[in-house]
Amino acid sequence: MTIETIRSSPLPAANGQAPVPLTETTTLTLAKAINAGLRRAMLDDPKVVLLGEDIGALGGVFRVTSDLLAEFGPNRVVDTPLAESAIIGTAVGLAYRGYRPVCEIQFDGFIFPGFDQIVSQVARFHYRTQGALRMPITIRVPFGGGIGAAEHHSESPEAYFTHTSGLRVVAVSNPQDAYSLIRQAIASDDPVLFFEPKRRYHVAGPVSPQLGESFERARVVAAGTDVTLLTYGALVSTATDAALAAADDGISVEVIDLRSLSPIDYATVEASIRKTGRLVVTHEASRSGGLGGEIIAEVTERCFDYLEAAPVRVTGFDIPYPTAKLEGHHLPDLDRMLDGVDRVLGRRR
Amino acid sequence: MTIETIRSSPLPAANGQAPVPLTETTTLTLAKAINAGLRRAMLDDPKVVLLGEDIGALGGVFRVTSDLLAEFGPNRVVDTPLAESAIIGTAVGLAYRGYRPVCEIQFDGFIFPGFDQIVSQVARFHYRTQGALRMPITIRVPFGGGIGAAEHHSESPEAYFTHTSGLRVVAVSNPQDAYSLIRQAIASDDPVLFFEPKRRYHVAGPVSPQLGESFERARVVAAGTDVTLLTYGALVSTATDAALAAADDGISVEVIDLRSLSPIDYATVEASIRKTGRLVVTHEASRSGGLGGEIIAEVTERCFDYLEAAPVRVTGFDIPYPTAKLEGHHLPDLDRMLDGVDRVLGRRR
Amino acid sequence: MNTVHTGGTPDVLLQLLSPAGVRLADADLDPWVAEMTGNDLAALYRDMVVVRRIDAEATALQRQGELGLWPPLLGQEAAQIGSGRALRADDFVFSSYRENAVAWCRGVAPTDILRVWRGTAQSGWDPLVHRMATPSIIIGAQTLHATGWAMGARFDGADSVAVAYFGDGATSEGDVNEALVFAASFQAPVVFFCQNNHWAISEPVGLQARAGIAGRAPGFGIPSLRIDGNDILAVMAATRLALNRARTGGGPTFIEAVTYRMGPHTTADDPTRYRPAAELEEWAKKDPILRLGRLLDSLGLLTPELEAETQAVADATAAELRAGCIGLPDPEPLTVLANVYATPHTGIDRQRAEYAAYLASFEPTGGKDS
Amino acid sequence: MNTVHTGGTPDVLLQLLSPAGVRLADADLDPWVAEMTGNDLAALYRDMVVVRRIDAEATALQRQGELGLWPPLLGQEAAQIGSGRALRADDFVFSSYRENAVAWCRGVAPTDILRVWRGTAQSGWDPLVHRMATPSIIIGAQTLHATGWAMGARFDGADSVAVAYFGDGATSEGDVNEALVFAASFQAPVVFFCQNNHWAISEPVGLQARAGIAGRAPGFGIPSLRIDGNDILAVMAATRLALNRARTGGGPTFIEAVTYRMGPHTTADDPTRYRPAAELEEWAKKDPILRLGRLLDSLGLLTPELEAETQAVADATAAELRAGCIGLPDPEPLTVLANVYATPHTGIDRQRAEYAAYLASFEPTGGKDS
Ligand SMILES: Cc1ncc(C[n+]2csc(CCOP(=O)(O)OP(=O)(O)O)c2C)c(N)n1
Ligand SMILES: Cc1ncc(C[n+]2csc(CCOP(=O)(O)OP(=O)(O)O)c2C)c(N)n1
Ligand SMILES: [Mg+2]
Ligand SMILES: [Mg+2]
């Protein structure tokens, strides 16, 4: 394991020019794809405003908002004081006025000072007002580990939000989804927590300007018949590798990228499990109370008679996110996924 | 459904006299039992201090800290300014100095402004410092609904904390446990979220001065052979009623009061399920991401071959806590528990 | 403008009306109430009497079990009516739970104010219709909403103003302080209207703010005014002054209205456990309604007609309130699962269908008891 | 005492040493450095040179891939050494991530400071041994810890003081403001030491605090001082003054040390994207080490011996740091699951056993690659 640093690779400098809008399929990094999606949304709707720390001149610590200040000005790209509760709370006020705020939380671990405003305000206003008030707020959160960072920079807090009724939760895994789903999130009249896999920010892929299918739909990344391997975010790539490795061993693994973590596309999940009878769920977040348990409970309820073995979880441990030199043990990797596949097949332990 | 108000029944006025320490089994309300437990802990250890809003002269809005200010003075019973993050954050500083702070959060819904300090600080310092620093902090939270209250006064946020590694989470259901477990929580060198079922505050029961068995142990409230009904907090009483009603129908229900929500006493749970083969979990919190899913996933993994049917959840809906006139629909009641029992027995739907 | 404190702790308490009802001069505030007629004064008087009556009737309804809880505003009528009546229709109020008189000023029907406390709804009115947000129970949260709204008003080039109402206790919450930071940074057109009613449930204001409430804002770059909150003329003048600053690009202003919570925190509270009786007596002498009454009297305006008419409006409002309250329909069972999302959602849709089926299973015996 | 501002926005910047190294008089601050000898000054000089060298070496180690990240303190040496050296052993420091020179003052071995940034531990040292808390990465959180510790000191009747270090950006966080509220209410013996280094990553201080940082505290009832943070004598005097107030029951004090972050926010940052080059040049002229050097020189104390000795200490420390860093052992795999709780815990114990078994399953082939 080597220590990667955040932005250890040199980043393209801001060129000060407005990028051309995406009109045809182009190869973009995941970070640039979100940038393109934000830009498209801002061009389409003057009520879309960005709020966050360092998102202006710097373009965000991950450069996801690069060049947008220059193009849209300080009333649309708002560098805020250093206070997360206020970032979310003022977004609520802006939504009261008809805006569609997009908040950037600098790193996953810094969302908690804003937790009260998210859980007690953003998530509830539509219900509270019997539909009179909408909260079309998108909260962007770079999440997950594997970048060798210091504490609070590698977390996976998604389960706190999937347990919070009134929120939608999305996690993207590739540039195309990053582009399409950020646009859908912003267009949604419901609040959306939008999780971006920070260790995949600089991985490039083709991006078409299409909006694509609804962000509520899971995506079957690789079809298979023996085991269903369910995941989201950065681990989709690892899971796909695991499926290839398993194939060498004669095991056919179906990999599903959930994309929407709340609600979950159980139609797609169920169809897969009816076929395979075996489920492995993998995520970076801690096991207890993580999304894996919820999915397994629901799948057990829906597909009990189809299950040939107890579903298996391959997750981070029930520990605070560990120090960089230990994160390789905490994070599910290819070996641990294969171990999970073996276990659900009764081949091990 | 009638509206009960918070403290609709007259409360005993502060008598200004120090209560005699509990020396023999006495009948106390749940609120008074916690009061007696706090008092015992404060007498035993001068480093135990209470922090919270209105806990001094008023004795807390539920009078759980009644008379303690008069007995222990303002350096032990600290009425704080109105700021939950500071209540938790100053408790961390006190723990750094060797104190054992007991924080009162006035109502469940007001814990979120303190969430960051709980999740990012209290829960992590022991791990962060490789054991050098202990956080023997108890955070008392009156929780749950059924009291006809306004928003933010009836919530069940426990799953946010059971997903947070480094915390212990306890929920009590009766005066004896309230007394014994608050003492154990305060004596614990780990931080403990201590959930008090506010709608049971005024229900009385016998309390012996014993510490009792470890708060990590679940309690079999009623033995049974057909179905295991798992719960905690205020619903233990409803579940016990449901078991009685089921017995009339010839169904033998084993009721388990978890007491510790993190960690969970799976030894006791497993033993029950190996016997019954059928599990119903019930809690007031929303279903998705609630404790029920976690328990079902774990039980499925541990007892797959013993399960005769898919475990069933009887929980609050995936909604923000509703208005008082609708809470009767949201909260699991005897009928919905029996419906769950029927479902797990395949008698219905 | 001397009365706007840009630094230090203002210890002057601005007044335009003494407790005895004598009109006092203040060069900065006077212009803002200069054009008030006797009719205007009478209208304010009527407002205050009516909202006090609403308050008493709601308290009675709670005692009779018709409401779950009620947070009385007794004693704070001038602070709320004086400020509420200073607003323009296009301004937007973000309040706490106690601002029932402000809701009255915003045209909310009294019965609608009760919905929350009867438990039939979580928002008594449509916030966009009355341009008053659903009152915030989470202390201080609404000050950020007001600030965000005001930032939007500035982005839009509008001259509408957001007004955030909150209590003395709220000033301790992080959110309120963050709101001051943001409002100052973005020069947002927001008025922070703090009713210092001396208590946060059982905690005296001195526990929250050692240096005085109005002294806090200048350190954030926000000018503040400390006014006698039981003096409706001072309240109205100060609010108009602050609104005007905001409308004309002057940014945020902080107003501390020094008043007193003469009742319990809520109907569930027992202030005798913590509050000296003498303090209440002292403040009873500074009653805001008596005070305006005395001014009206000295002007010969407190006529039997005005008294009678005011009484009639109060009686009618109370009767309407009582009937409205008792007549409030219970929400339909399935609304418990409605409006969680603005757009269709597979998770909630399924739970709704399941619960509908469950309820239907009781149908033969007349539905689930609820 | 004129220099302690109890209200308003202090715009005076207190100094004892001009950028040219000329000793200036200040009646309030002078007594606190009156007894300093030439040796004392030389020691401070040495401290500053050494910590700057540590900083440079750590930056180099990061560039060479030996550290994941490094937050340089370049330019803030006087603020940190001047305050750190004013503390008593029994005081307790609660800092942010940039206070490496304060850790040096608390006796933390330089290599231990690097542990966090090399990723071998989340706390580089035992906080109870050095009486310096694990630095807080969550901005502002530590100010509440300091306040709580200080409340405890007051409850205990001790005369130890808590010192909270934080940046200009941190003043916007709710936690920092709540800390001011609590510290004022409980008259806690805590010193709030804010290094205003003009930037919070890419955001200039004006975005965070429109009225100036030191102007904030008086509104909370906390006196404040605004000092030249690149003037080590002013820093030391002000810190001693504040510590003394706290020790003698005077309660909290707020110090704004006006300084400048001459480097990037961290080694991952590129300040050319947002910071005017001229600003940096301007501040280079106010360099804290040059300044004390000039004073020493004018006193005839900047001898070749001192220079040589200082250089030798710096070289030795840098060499020790480099060797120590590279030699830091990787943590044992199973420590990933250690110390989550202080007492046995069935959940984590099971995961630990399972993971041990999993790792053991790789044994024949030499263990899991890690
Ligand atoms: C975040 C939060 N914490 C605690 C409470 C409980 N609570 C309700 S009202 C109140 C006191 C508020 O005092 P103040 O701000 O002075 O307003 P007032 O009630 O006097 O109008 C408290 C502590 C709450 N509603 N929200
Ligand atoms: C709660 C939280 N939000 C955001 C961050 C990301 N962050 C790290 S340092 C920093 C700027 C801090 O500025 P300042 O307080 O002035 O301290 P300085 O870095 O200048 O020493 C930010 C935004 C964080 N660590 N914690
Ligand atoms: Mg108050
Ligand atoms: Mg800074």
Pocket-testing residue among C70, C102, C166, C201, ligand 1, by greatest number of atoms within 8 A of Cβ: C201
Q: Which helix (H) or strand (E) holds B231?
A: strand B227-231
Residue D361: CB atoms within 10 A of its CB come to 15
Work out how many CB contacts closer than 8 A connect B with D. 148
Q: What is the mean pLDDT of residues D151-164?
A: 98
Give yes or no for residue A3 having a pLDDT over 70. Answer: no
Cβ contact, residue pair B134, D339, below 8 Å: no
Of C187, C346, C195, C177, the residue nearest C261 (C-alpha): C195
ω into residue C135 within 30 of 0, thus cis?
no
pLDDT in tens, B27-85: 999 999 999 999 999 999 999 999 999 999 999 999 999 999 999 999 999 999 999 99
User: Could you tell me the distance, in angstroms and rounded to a whole number, from the CA of residue A3 to the centre of ligand 4?
Assistant: 27
pLDDT in tens, D319-330: 999 999 999 999
Closest atom of ligand 2 to CA, residue D96: 21
- Give Cα C12 to chain centroid, integer Å: 24
Please check whether residue A226 is in contact with residue A309, taking contact to mean a CB–CB distance below 8 angstroms. Answer: no
Cβ contact, residue pair B133, D185, below 8 Å: no
Q: What is the mean pLDDT of residues B276-304?
A: 98
Q: What is the mean pLDDT of residues D127-131?
A: 98
Q: Say what the pLDDT of residue B5 is.
A: 28
| CB of B85 closer than 6 angstroms to any ligand 1 atom | no
Give yes or no for residue B6 having a pLDDT over 70. Answer: no
The set of residues, in sequence order, having a beta carbon less than 8 Å from that of B127 and lying 6+ positions away, is: A319, A320, B165, B166, D122, D339, D340
Q: What is the largest distance, in Å, between two alpha-carbon atoms of chain B?
A: 59
Q: What is the mean pLDDT of residues D27-34?
A: 97
pLDDT in tens, B10-38: 333 444 444 567 889 999 999 999 999 99
Cβ contact, residue pair B216, D346, below 8 Å: yes
Give yes or no for residue B7 having a pLDDT over 60. Answer: no
Q: What is the mean pLDDT of residues B301-317?
A: 98
Percentage of residues of chain C with pLDDT beyond 90: 94
C120/B contact by beta carbon, under 8 A: yes
Q: What are the two backbone dihedrals, phi and then psi, of residue C161, each rounded to the nearest 5 degrees?
A: -125, 145
| CB of C169 closer than 6 angstroms to any ligand 1 atom | yes
Q: Say what the pLDDT of residue A21 is.
A: 75
CB-nearest partner of D178 from B85, B95, B98: B85
Closest atom of ligand 1 to CA, residue C138: 26
Provide the shortest C-alpha distance from residue A229 to chain C (in Å): 22
Give yes or no for residue D115 having a pLDDT over 80. Answer: yes
Q: Which residue's C-alpha comes closest to atom 19 of ligand 1?
A: C200
Give yes or no for residue B296 having a pLDDT over 90. Answer: yes
pLDDT in tens, A49-84: 999 999 999 999 999 999 999 999 999 999 999 999
| Residues flanking ligand 2, CB < 6 Å | A 53, 82, 84, 106, 110, 113; D 98, 137-139, 167-170, 197, 199-201, 261, 265
Cβ contact, residue pair B319, C337, below 8 Å: yes
Q: Which stretches does DSSP call E strand in A118-202?
A: 138-143, 168-171, 192-197
C337/A contact by beta carbon, under 8 A: no
Mean pLDDT (chain A) is: 94
pLDDT in tens, D301-317: 999 999 999 999 999 99
Mean pLDDT (chain C) is: 95
Q: Say what the pLDDT of residue D370 is.
A: 43
Give yes or no for residue D203 having a pLDDT over 50. Answer: yes
Percentage of residues of chain B with pLDDT beyond 70: 94
Give yes or no for residue A196 having a pLDDT over 70. Answer: yes
Burial of D218-257, coded b for 16+ CB within 10 Å and e otherwise, reads bbbbbbbbbbbbbbbbbbbbbbbbbbebbbeebbbbbbbb
Query: Which residues in chain D have their CB less than 8 angstroms from residue C219's CB?
Result: 9, 211, 215-220
Closest atom of ligand 2 to CA, residue D168: 16
Mean pLDDT (chain B) is: 94
Confidence of residue C2 (pLDDT cuts 50, 70, 90): very low
Query: Which residues in chain C have their CB less than 8 angstroms from residue A117's CB?
Result: 141, 144, 175
Q: What are the two backbone dihedrals, phi and then psi, of residue B243, each rounded to the nearest 5 degrees?
A: -65, -40
Of A74, A137, A127, the residue nearest A105 (C-alpha): A137
D166/A contact by beta carbon, under 8 A: no
pLDDT in tens, A299-348: 999 999 999 999 999 999 999 999 999 999 999 999 999 999 999 999 86
Cβ contact, residue pair C221, D211, below 8 Å: yes
User: Could you tell me the distance, in angstroms and rounded to a whole number, from the CA of residue A120 to the centre of ligand 1?
Assistant: 15
| Angle made by CA atoms C93, C96, C101, in degrees to the nearest 5 | 70
List the structure tokens of D102. Answer: 């304060």
State the best of C96, C120, C178 to mutate against chain A, taking most chain A CBs within 10 Å. Answer: C178
Q: What is the CATH number of domain B219-344?
A: 3.40.50.920
Domain with CATH 3.40.50.920 in chain B: 219-344
Give yes or no for residue B188 having a pLDDT over 90. Answer: yes
The question of whether B153 is a catalytic residue gets the answer yes
Amino acid C25 reads A
Cβ contact, residue pair A116, C138, below 8 Å: yes
Mean pLDDT (chain D) is: 95
Q: Say what the pLDDT of residue D252 is.
A: 98
Q: What is the mean pLDDT of residues D72-89?
A: 98
Pocket-testing residue among C100, C139, C177, ligand 1, by greatest number of atoms within 8 A of Cβ: C139
Q: Which residue's C-alpha comes closest to atom 17 of ligand 2?
A: D167
Cβ contact, residue pair B89, D179, below 8 Å: yes
Q: How far apart are CA D336 and CA D348, in angstroms?
A: 11
pLDDT in tens, A108-156: 999 999 999 999 999 999 999 999 999 999 999 999 999 999 999 999 9
Please check whether residue B295 is in contact with residue B264, taking contact to mean a CB–CB distance below 8 angstroms. Answer: yes
List the structure tokens of D60. Answer: 């180099």
CB-nearest partner of B263 from D145, D181, D345: D345
Q: How far apart are CA C135 and CA C290, in angstroms?
A: 28
Residue C243: CB atoms within 10 A of its CB come to 24
Provide the shortest C-alpha distance from residue C330 to chain D (in Å): 40
Query: Which residues in chain A have their CB less than 8 angstroms from residue D170's CB?
Result: 82
Helices (H), chain A: 30-44, 68-72, 84-96, 115-116, 125-128, 158-162, 175-187, 235-248, 266-276, 291-303, 327-330, 334-344
Closest atom of ligand 1 to CA, residue C166: 15
Please check whether residue B279 is in contact with residue B344, taking contact to mean a CB–CB distance below 8 angstroms. Answer: yes
Query: Which residues in chain A have their CB less than 8 angstroms from residue D169's CB?
Result: 81-82
Burial of D25-59, coded b for 16+ CB within 10 Å and e otherwise, reads ebeebeebbeeeeeeebbebbbbbbbbbbbbebbb
- Give Cα C28 to chain centroid, integer Å: 25
User: Could you tell me the distance, in angstroms and rounded to a whole number, from the CA of residue D172 to the centre of ligand 2?
Assistant: 10
Q: Say what the pLDDT of residue D10 is.
A: 57
Query: What residue has token string 């320490």?
Result: B21
pLDDT in tens, B314-329: 999 999 999 999 999 9
Give yes or no for residue A19 having a pLDDT over 90. Answer: no
Amino acid D62 reads Q
CB-nearest partner of D144 from B85, B99, B166: B85
Q: Say what the pLDDT of residue A211 is.
A: 87
The set of residues, in sequence order, having a beta carbon less than 8 Å from that of B234 and lying 6+ positions away, is: B144, B146, B173, B197, B198, B199, B200, B284
Please check whether residue C127 is in contact with residue C136, taking contact to mean a CB–CB distance below 8 angstroms. Answer: no
Query: What residue has token string 């005017």?
Result: D276
Give yes or no for residue B8 having a pLDDT over 50. Answer: no
First-residue to last-residue Cα distance in chain D: 60
Neighbours of chain A (3+ CB pairs under 8 A): B, C, D
Provide the shortest C-alpha distance from residue D88 to chain C (in Å): 28
Catalytic residues of C: 261, 265, 274
Helices (H), B120-265: 125-128, 158-162, 175-187, 235-248
C290/A contact by beta carbon, under 8 A: no
State the best of B116, B202, B284, B325 to mutate against chain C, taking most chain C CBs within 10 Å. Answer: B325
Q: What is the CATH number of domain B26-207?
A: 3.40.50.970
Q: How far apart are CA D130 and CA D91, in angstroms?
A: 10
Q: How far apart are CA D306 and CA D297, in angstroms?
A: 11
More confident residue, B236 or A9: B236
Neighbours of chain B (3+ CB pairs under 8 A): A, C, D
Q: How far apart are CA D121 and CA D125, in angstroms?
A: 9
Please check whether residue D17 is in contact with residue D292, taking contact to mean a CB–CB distance below 8 angstroms. Answer: yes
Domain with CATH 3.40.50.970 in chain B: 26-207
Least CA distance to D116: which residue of chain A? Answer: A150
Q: Which residue's C-alpha comes closest to atom 12 of ligand 1?
A: C200
User: Could you tell me the distance, in angstroms and rounded to a whole number, from the CA of residue C324 to the centre of ligand 4?
Assistant: 57
Confidence of residue D360 (pLDDT cuts 50, 70, 90): very high
Which residues 154-173 of A are in CB contact (within 8 Å) with B?
A: 159-160, 162-166
Cβ contact, residue pair D185, C207, below 8 Å: yes
Lowest mean pLDDT among A3-7, B186-190, C116-120, C302-306: A3-7
pLDDT in tens, A218-261: 999 999 999 999 999 999 999 999 999 999 999 999 999 999 99
